[in-house]
Amino acid sequence: MRASAFNTRLLENFRLWCHKLLANMLPQLSSIANEKLCEVNRRLDTALNNMSQGLCMFDSEGRLVLCNERYIQMYRLSHDAVKPGCTIRELLALRKVCGTFQGDPYEYSTNLLARIAEGKTLRETVEALDGLVTVIVDRPIEGGGWVATFEDVTARRQLEHERDRGQKFLNTIVENAPIPIFVKEASGLRYVLVNRAGEQFWGVSRAEMIGKTSHDVFPKEEADLIAVRDQQLLRSDQPVVDEREIQTPRNGIRSIVSRRLTVCDEDGKSRYVVGVIQDVTERKLVEKRIAHMAHKLIHLNRTAIAGVLSASFAHELNQPLGAILSNAEAAEVLLTANPLNLCHLKEIIADIRRDDQRAGEIIKQVGGFLKKGDEIELQEFDLSDAVRCAFHLLDHEAVTRGVVLGVRQAKVALPVRANEVHLQQVILNLAMNGMDAMARCDPGSRKLTLETAWAGDTDAEVSVSDSGIGVPADKLERIFDALVTTKPQGTGLGLSIARTIIEIYGGKIWAENRPGGGAVFRFTLPLAKTRAA
């Protein structure tokens, strides 16, 4: 055999051998490739079916290539009905039956296919009849067809709705609140919110305030003050409540109580300044009027007391006047004597001077008692002095009414800060009530005692006790109310005025019945200096 023929045979044998070998191996190789492919497909299916979004892939004709489990669940479709190859129109028709599509399947799919053909990505939010809200994105893919994703945003939408509802609710409250409310952004201190009551209070429309600073809205002096206070608030970061007068842009000066605070970001940085204002102008005016009326009443009550005690006043005054007259007569007699007893004369003149001073003091005291005045003059004095003064004024009246008047004073001074005349008035009111309560008692048993004492370390106490009929237990509280009286000529104002006065000076007043009969009225006042001091 020639070499070439031999080589050809060899090659032919080798080719046949290779053929055989390949023929034996091919099924094995294809099974390995198949297995790999299946594995990849399985993984892909697992990934697709575990997506939180629904996903579909369509070819350029609108036929389904694949879809995941979530899509089928989301639109309540059946696995049997959704098969690769079914058209988008058929899918929409199925969804319509399930109530998860509301449009016209033909119209919708035609439009969609046209838009995809133009290479446009479509995005829309769709709300189904059952309340399911989905965001659908149809994205064209290379080589034709598209991928559609379906995201269920029902819960998110609900939260957004709730947040919007809450916001609206809050806005309605703020807008309709009868008190002015404003919000400024902390960085530039420009108004971002002013409610209706605020517009009325400042006399400026919202349009004129929003986006503006205080200097754009308020008179310069007021704006300067607001700016300083805002800076202080931002520095301290603590809510501030204060009362002051404010110069409004178009509503004059108003008295306000304002509460201001800062609202911070999550990172703790001040974001807004919020202010709530209470207009107390009217309340202040009413308070002023009431105070004025109370002063008038207090004065009227004093005049009434002076009327009752006029005989006492006259009696008090008569004593020094009588003494002056007697001394003047004695001096006249002495002047006729020869030789003149100058020493004696000097003594008489000194007595006249002393009695004149005493008369002057009584007139001053009565004048002071009847003095009118809205302003309360505060003095620091010994409470026992006021009691002593009242005792002198009552002395004659007590004798006239057959009452034994006694006074017991604390051994040490009881310094209080008040108006002395006011306190005398309280003591006189209590004392005259006590005398009234004893009017029908046996003349020998009528006893009225004024007493001063320490009450703890911080207060001084005055008590006025009588041996009269006492106060019915159920009336002990009520007798301090205005117009409560059991007397035919009484106004029922004495005790209510006494309480007003005592409360003005930070004290307390109350009544008790004494175990042995009669009543005791007490009041306490804070000491100007504590006992320890």
Ligand X SMILES: Nc1ncnc2c1ncn2[C@@H]1O[C@H](COP(=O)(O)OP(=O)(O)OP(=O)(O)O)[C@@H](O)[C@H]1O
Nearer to ligand X, 147 or 484 (CB): 484
Residue with nearest beta carbon to Mg ion: 494
Contact call for residue 445 and ligand X (CB under 6 A): no
Q: Which does 493 bind (CB under 5 to 8 A by kind): Mg ion, ligand X, none?
A: ligand X
Among positions 382, 451, 461, 466, the unique one binding ligand X when judged by CB under 6 A? 466
> DSSP of 29-85, one letter per residue?
HHHHHHHHHHHHHHHHHHHHHT-SSEEEEE-TTSBEEEE-HHHHHHTT--TTT--TT
Q: How far is the CB of 469 from ligand X (least distance, A)?
A: 6
Phi, psi of 244 (to 5 degrees): -165, 175
Is the Cβ–Cβ distance between 467 and 447 less than 8 Å? yes
Contact call for residue 434 and ligand X (CB under 6 A): yes
Q: How far is the CB of 407 from Mg ion (least distance, A)?
A: 20
In order of 424, 426, 427, 491, the CA distances from 430 in angstroms are 10, 6, 5, 14
Nearer to ligand X, 462 or 479 (CB): 479
Quote the Cα angle for 376-381-383, to 5°: 100
- The amino acid present at 373, given as its one-letter code, is G
Query: How crowded is residue 14: how many other Cβ atoms within 10 Å of its Cβ?
Result: 10
Nearer to Mg ion, 312 or 433 (CB): 433
Contact call for residue 468 and ligand X (CB under 6 A): yes
In order of 31, 40, 453, the CA distances from 419 in angstroms are 115, 101, 19
Helix (H, G, I), strand (E, B) or coil at 425: helix
Q: How far is the CB of 516 from ligand X (least distance, A)?
A: 14
Binding segment for Mg ion (CB under 5 A), chosen from 7-15, 69-77, 394-402, 492-500, is 492-500
Contact call for residue 500 and Mg ion (CB under 5 A): no
Among positions 2-21, residues that touch ligand X (CB under 6 A) are none
Among positions 112, 519, 525, 528, the unique one binding ligand X when judged by CB under 6 A? 519
Among positions 408-447, residues that touch Mg ion (CB under 5 A) are 433
Nearer to Mg ion, 146 or 480 (CB): 480
Query: How crowded is residue 87: how many other Cβ atoms within 10 Å of its Cβ?
Result: 17
Whole-angstrom Cα distance, residue 241 to residue 140?
Answer: 62
Binding segment for ligand X (CB under 6 A), chosen from 49-57, 212-220, 465-473, 500-508, is 465-473
Contact call for residue 214 and ligand X (CB under 6 A): no
Nearer to Mg ion, 217 or 437 (CB): 437
Nearest CA among 391, 400, 384 for reference residue 365: 391
Among positions 477-506, residues that touch ligand X (CB under 6 A) are 479, 484-487, 490-496
Q: Which does 471 bind (CB under 5 to 8 A by kind): Mg ion, ligand X, none?
A: ligand X
Nearest CA among 298, 295, 286 for reference residue 493: 298
Binding segment for Mg ion (CB under 5 A), chosen from 20-28, 444-452, 472-480, 488-496, is 488-496
Contact call for residue 105 and ligand X (CB under 6 A): no
Q: How far is the CB of 430 from ligand X (least distance, A)?
A: 7
Q: Report the DSSP pairing between strands 133-140 and 122-127.
A: antiparallel
Whole-angstrom Cα distance, residue 307 to residue 246?
Answer: 46
Nearer to ligand X, 22 or 439 (CB): 439
Q: How far is the CB of 526 from ligand X (least distance, A)?
A: 24
Which 8-state DSSP code applies to residue 103? Answer: S
Which 8-state DSSP code applies to residue 179? Answer: S
Where residue 373 falls (left for φ over 0; alpha for ψ -120 to 50; beta otherwise) is: left
- The amino acid present at 274, given as its one-letter code, is V
Q: How far is CA 79 from the centre of its chain?
A: 62
Q: What is the CA radius of gyration of the chain?
A: 51
Q: Which does 468 bind (CB under 5 to 8 A by kind): ligand X, Mg ion, none?
A: ligand X
Helix (H, G, I), strand (E, B) or coil at 493: coil
Name residue, tokens 């009868």: 178
Nearer to Mg ion, 140 or 434 (CB): 434
366 Cβ contact partners less than 8 Å away, ≥ 6 residues apart: 306, 313
Is the Cβ–Cβ distance between 406 and 391 less than 8 Å? no
Among positions 252-281, residues that touch ligand X (CB under 6 A) are none
Nearest CA among 406, 107, 79 for reference residue 68: 79
Size of the site for ligand X (CB under 6 A): 22
Nearer to ligand X, 84 or 472 (CB): 472
Whole-angstrom Cα distance, residue 379 to residue 428?
Answer: 19
Contact call for residue 180 and ligand X (CB under 6 A): no
Nearer to Mg ion, 246 or 464 (CB): 464
Nearer to ligand X, 139 or 296 (CB): 296
Q: Which does 428 bind (CB under 5 to 8 A by kind): ligand X, Mg ion, none?
A: none
Q: Which does 501 bind (CB under 5 to 8 A by kind): Mg ion, ligand X, none?
A: none
Q: How far is the CB of 478 from ligand X (least distance, A)?
A: 8
Among positions 394-433, residues that touch ligand X (CB under 6 A) are 429, 433
Q: How far is the CB of 466 from ligand X (least distance, A)?
A: 5
Binding segment for ligand X (CB under 6 A), chosen from 184-192, 282-290, 391-399, 468-476, is 468-476
Nearer to Mg ion, 125 or 310 (CB): 310
Among positions 324, 414, 460, 471, the unique one binding ligand X when judged by CB under 6 A? 471
Q: Which does 234 bind (CB under 5 to 8 A by kind): Mg ion, ligand X, none?
A: none
Nearest CA among 138, 141, 147, 151 for reference residue 111: 138
Among positions 58-117, residues that touch Mg ion (CB under 5 A) are none
Binding site for ligand X (CB under 6 A): 429, 433-434, 437, 466, 468-471, 479, 484-487, 490-496, 519
Binding site for Mg ion (CB under 5 A): 433, 494
